[in-house]
Structure 1
């Protein structure tokens, strides 16, 4: 077992604290771009709960400023930052760069949790660390294999999501712009869907299946280093996904789920409420607290301090 971190100076004010956890037990990657006050609050909560763990933050400064002087010294910023866009491959690149920075640190954490600035812990540090330590898994990530299937009568949300995932990652489209001097321009798109037609254009095969799931995951160092090494090879999968949308919901899942030496738990340990429909989850408020407490998840999303900060106050009380 790693030596306990007994005393350490951290923070701009040089805060002295005692640590009850191994120095490399857990670290956090934050992908942030808005609401600095909420980002500071999340960092302060992680510091309180986990005794100033290593936190690597990729903040998109093109979206909003973030005062570096307000961050404690256990927070490392990814430099230079990327201008990230929703559903864009830049989110994958930002995540990998943060993972690289995390793993390059001497005595890197045993576990890495990927969070957004809108996430918040809903279990105590002991519950989270005990859960990770007591199970044999290398990663907690939601993943489901995406295959060519037609369910004409199945309109359940999960099946619609699977169909949508197949359209995103496993088809090939060709666009044609036709125009003549005396006619309006005609735009045509041809989409190939059957595997026999798309095989020459896609990186997938019997040895490399396509998987999809939630963007948010938790990995141990072994799985994190595998992601970094895989991505650095600039292989066919990486090149293919770099030109797609919504790759953050398939790229990491495909890498990890095709690794036979890794044990995965098909559970992101994240509470997310999609009951409102649409591309974004419901903003959680006080009325959602009973569901959060009953959940087995470690973290929940998403929260908004401008909508309801009372639920964060209550979660602070529960996790203290």
Structure 2
């Protein structure tokens, strides 16, 4: 078991499936970090999770939120978990947001030393989303930013047109230029849109900023509450516009998107060399029903 350092760390888990894998992740974090604060938001509407055997350092968000993929409910579940964590008397200096499919790929000492040796408040992927990139950048590597602009920075109007003897027609008009979208969006010269990976880690200062911002009845929260894919922009926009927070544009997470599609590659034993060569602290995603051997190997390496 790793010795505790001056920096304390806690974990927020967003889970909804594969209870055995959730238990394994919790047990691993307990062994590595000497029973840290772990706040778990589990969606019991998707699958059950036996909580009677969980250790006392595990706190469950009650009542849970029925979450949906890419929905604002994921944001709400994360904020509720943050609120619970930072109400505790022994709230940690740092938190790491994890899913049930994540697993550590570095030792506790390496992770804590890395967090404690830098002056950043958060490690989060955050790319500024601009009209110039959306309209004029022809690089294939910018496709993700272009998609983000369309998701968060355009405004569509749909008109249902029907006549007595004609089929119904759906007409969509989309405003894209900032001069046209300005009346409908919360963004401005003082509040830019950012986007990035859902998974990040941050310190208490950043956590309290998120909690305070979200609790206010502000235009940004109201706007994102009606969108899809908000988990990939809401926290990024809040933190990247915060005046006194220092961000590192690095999620400290190994994720392989080489297969294409909307979900990352499931990591196997063949991926182990790439994991070990990475500077990331955690990797995703794993599946014990497909390959549990890689988790066994990581247990040995990170013990």
| TM-score, shorter chain, exceeding 0.5 | yes
Q: Give, in whole Å, the separation in 1 of the partners of 2:287 and 2:6.
A: 31
Residue of structure 2 in register with 1:203 after alignment? 186
The answer (yes or no) to whether the contact 1:140–1:218 under 8 Å persists in 2 is yes
Q: CA RMSD in A?
A: 1.3
- The answer to whether the Cα contact below 8 Å between 1:178 and 1:186 also exists between their aligned partners in 2 is yes
Task: Give the alignment partner of residue 223 of structure 2, picking from 222, 228, 240.
Answer: 240
User: In structure 2, what is the Cα distance between the partners aligned to 1:265 and 1:34?
Assistant: 31
For residues 101 and 22 of structure 1, do their structure 2 counterparts lie closer, same or farther at Cα, with a shift above 3 Å needed? farther
Q: Distance in 1 between matches of 2:159 and 2:282?
A: 46
Residue in structure 2 matching 1:154, options 106, 118, 138: 138
Q: Give aligned pairs, total.
A: 302
2:296 aligns to what SS in structure 1?
helix
2:202 aligned residue (219, 224, 239): 219
* Structure 1 residue 59, shift from structure 2 partner: 0.1
Residue 73 of structure 1 and its aligned partner are, at CA, apart by: 1.2
Q: Which runs of 4+ in 1 moved over 3 A?
A: 150-153
Which 5+ residue runs of structure 2 have no aligned equivalent? none
Partner in structure 2 of residue 256 of structure 1: 239
CA distance in structure 1 between the partners assigned to 2:210 and 2:233 by the alignment: 13
Deviation at 1:155, TM superposition (A): 4.6
- Asked if structure 2 preserves the Cα contact closer than 8 Å seen for 1:32 and 1:58, the reply is yes
| 2:213 partner SS | helix
Give yes or no for contact 1:113–1:219 (8 Å, CA) kept in 2.
Answer: yes
User: In 2, are the aligned partners of 1:50 and 1:125 still within 8 Å (CA)?
Assistant: yes
Q: Distance in 1 between matches of 2:57 and 2:97?
A: 16
Does 1:84 pair with 2:67? yes
1:238 CA displacement:
0.2
CA deviation string 1:185-236 (max 9, x = no partner)? 1111111000000000000000000000000010000000000000000200
Match of 1:231 in 2: 214
Change (3 A) 1:31 1:23: farther
Maintained 8 Å contact 1:227/1:255 = yes
- What does the per-residue CA deviation read over 1:38-97, in whole Å, with 9 as the maximum and x for residues that have no partner? 000000000000010000000000000000112111100000000000000000000000
Q: Give the Å deviation of 1:32.
A: 0.1
Partner Cα distance (2:135, 2:170) in 1: 29
Residue 294 (structure 2) pairs with residue 311 (structure 1): yes
Is 2:24 the partner of 1:41? yes
C-alpha distance in structure 2 between counterparts of 1:121 and 1:72, whole Å? 20
Which structure 2 residues correspond to residues 166-181 of structure 1 after superposition, within 5 A?
166-181=149-164
Matched residue, 2:116: 133
- Residues 270, 300 of structure 1: 8 Å contact kept: yes
> How far apart are the structure 2 equivalents of 1:219 and 1:24?
12
